[in-house]
Amino acid sequence: MSGKSYRFQRTISSTAEHCCVPLCAASSKYNSALSFHTFPKDFETRRKWISAIRRDHFAVSPHTRVCSRHFTSEDVREPLSATARRLLRKGAVPALFEWNNFSLPLSRQAGVMERRERKERPVEEQDTSCEEAAGVTHDHDYAAAPGPLVDLALDENKARRSEIDQLRKQVQTLNLKQRFGIHRFAGSDRDIRFFTRFGSYDLLIRFWTQIEPAVPSMIRVTQAQRGNFTEPTFPACDLADRYGVHQSTVSRIITTWSNFLYTVLGSVRIWIPEEKIRENLPTEFKDYADTTVILDCTELRCQCPTSPLLQSEVYSAYKSNCTLKGLLGVAPHGAVTFISPLYAGSISDKQITRESGILSLLKPGMAIMVDRGFLVDDFVPCKIYRPAFLSGRSQMSASEVRETQAIARVRVHVERLIRRVKEHKFFETEIPLRLFGNINQLYSVACLLTNYENGPLVKSWSKKPE
């Protein structure tokens, strides 16, 4: 078929068929010498056609055609009559394309002698008498070394190649800078803390080393399961733009990882035995050496319900807002050792201490440290360190003032830990009502992560004794 030439002349036809092969402009509307063939129904033969055509993301339809100029003459069966159609041999595959110059190597038939080209004689053996008689002179020596112009061209090519390599490196560097990922901020602890809440890149990698063995067992939230989970509130559009994904994908990833971290971190026992606490007791607690845990409550702003009854449940007189309230326990050396569920903001500190489950962990030989509002002396089975208050008196004694100041100095880090929890961007805005179904899970993960994200709560405690 490659030896024929076709004139593009308009034909009279009600329909027009076009060839789907790249770089081929054949159409039945302008060429009646070609035939246009549909893709075979046989799966294997059809696959060979698609592979031979070399089109990306190619979808074959009943109207897709390949013209006869892409088949060899052996594959095309000419019609026996003028009204018949040209057909293809069974199993025929298109093989003549623009990229192989519409030709195939000819195969030698069996029994036919192969013609060999005659070797030319060396130059010194050739007869040059005819050339001399005709006055032909050799004005150029093709065996001579290249001149200075060729050398300049080679040098220019090397310079261009070096320039291209430099531009390629610049593009790779630019792509690396534009790519948003954790390795981009590996050299800046400040950026690592801003984007991950971890104190340093080293802390982040150590945490990842601990949870990585459990990652293969992670249950991923799919699009079909998305309706069974509540989407968290966070700047999803910002994350979607940074990573180049859809906002729903960001929501599914956050939900998947919150479920995973809640399972992995929640399986670790965080309540520390008394002897371990004494081994790591800071020197600031020498006057309160039997302290096992420091308790305090925290409140998170939430959306105001439309129901007046629910409004009264979640309204906090202390915050003058609708809140959710939880009890946190911190060991003297700064680790979170107790996390209660979140309750409606109207609950008192006394009631939340009763219902949180902390009483089952306390023993008579222990001591807890609380704020003034924790009036739990009548049901807590252990000693209580609490700042003194006036109780109708005009002023406190000097010893009470000193004790109040001493307790305030050592329990200040529980407030710093609560601040670290609230630094998570999830708690920067009020919690919507639709998140109440899994707010305890997200809150627990935020609290548990503080045990891995940062160093000591008080810098002086990190100094080694001289």
Q: DSSP states of 100-165 as a string?
A: GTT--PPPPPTTPPPP-PPPPPPGGGS--HHHHHTT------TTSPP-HHHHHHHHHHHHHHHHHH
pLDDT band, very low/low/confident/very high, at 193 (cuts 50, 70, 90): confident
Q: Is the residue at 143 inside a domain?
A: no
Supply the pLDDT for residue 117.
Answer: 55
Separation between Cα atoms, residue 150 and residue 141, nearest integer Å: 15
Q: What are the tokens at 244?
A: 């180049």
Q: Which one-letter amino acid corresponds to residue 72?
A: T
Q: Name the domain boundary from 55, 79, 105.
A: 105
Residues 328, 297 contacting (CB under 8 angstroms): yes
Count of domains in the chain? 3
- In this structure, the strands spanning 315-316 and 321-330 are antiparallel
Q: Is the residue at 98 inside a domain?
A: yes
Q: Is the residue at 403 inside a domain?
A: yes
349: pLDDT strictly greater than 80 = yes
338: pLDDT strictly greater than 90 = yes
Instruction: Indicate if 319 and 302 belong to the same structural domain.
Output: yes
Supply the pLDDT for residue 131.
Answer: 46
Average pLDDT of the residues in 7-13: 50
Q: Is the residue at 229 inside a domain?
A: yes
Q: Is the residue at 39 inside a domain?
A: yes
Which of 131-145, 159-173, 288-302 is the most confident on average? Answer: 288-302
- In this structure, the strands spanning 321-330 and 336-339 are antiparallel
Instruction: Indicate if 262 and 279 belong to the same structural domain.
Output: no
Instruction: Indicate if 316 and 216 belong to the same structural domain.
Output: no
Q: In 10 A of CB 350, how many CB atoms?
A: 13
pLDDT band, very low/low/confident/very high, at 352 (cuts 50, 70, 90): very high
Instruction: Indicate if 297 and 428 belong to the same structural domain.
Output: yes
164: pLDDT strictly greater than 90 = no
Separation between Cα atoms, residue 343 and residue 358, nearest integer Å: 15
Instruction: Indicate if 249 and 354 belong to the same structural domain.
Output: no
Task: Give the whole-number percent of the chain exceeding pLDDT 90.
Answer: 12
Q: Is the residue at 151 inside a domain?
A: no
Instruction: Indicate if 309 and 345 belong to the same structural domain.
Output: yes
Mean pLDDT of the chain: 77
Report the CATH number at residue 373: 3.30.420
More confidently predicted of 249 and 295: 295
363: pLDDT strictly greater than 80 = yes
State the Rg of the chain over Cα: 41
Among candidate residues 275, 231, 263, the one with its CA nearest the CA of residue 249:
231
Supply the pLDDT for residue 271.
Answer: 92
Q: Name the domain boundary from 105, 124, 156.
A: 105
Range of the domain at 258: 183-266
Instruction: Indicate if 92 and 221 belong to the same structural domain.
Output: no
Instruction: Indicate if 456 and 323 belong to the same structural domain.
Output: yes
Supply the pLDDT for residue 166.
Answer: 82
Q: Name the domain boundary from 105, 122, 140.
A: 105
Instruction: Indicate if 253 and 290 belong to the same structural domain.
Output: no
Q: CA-based angle 360:365:371, to the nearest 5?
A: 70
Q: Is the residue at 397 inside a domain?
A: yes
Q: Which helix (H) or strand (E) segment is 297 a member of?
A: strand 291-301
254: pLDDT strictly greater than 90 = no
Supply the pLDDT for residue 93.
Answer: 92
Separation between Cα atoms, residue 156 and residue 160, nearest integer Å: 6
Instruction: Indicate if 398 and 329 belong to the same structural domain.
Output: yes
Supply the pLDDT for residue 130.
Answer: 44
Q: Is the residue at 19 inside a domain?
A: yes
On the CB side of 429, CA atoms within 13 Å amount to 9
Q: How buried is residue 6: exposed, middle or buried, by Cβ count under 10 Å (0-12/13-18/19+)?
A: middle
Strand partners, 87: 77
More confidently predicted of 264 and 169: 264
Instruction: Indicate if 207 and 344 belong to the same structural domain.
Output: no
Average pLDDT of the residues in 210-233: 67
Separation between Cα atoms, residue 52 and residue 441, nearest integer Å: 55
115 contact partners, CB below 8 Å, separation of at least 6? none
More confidently predicted of 466 and 360: 360
Supply the pLDDT for residue 160.
Answer: 79
To 10 degrees, what angle do helices 247-266 and 236-243 make?
Answer: 100
Instruction: Indicate if 216 and 307 belong to the same structural domain.
Output: no
pLDDT band, very low/low/confident/very high, at 428 (cuts 50, 70, 90): confident
Separation between Cα atoms, residue 345 and residue 324, nearest integer Å: 5
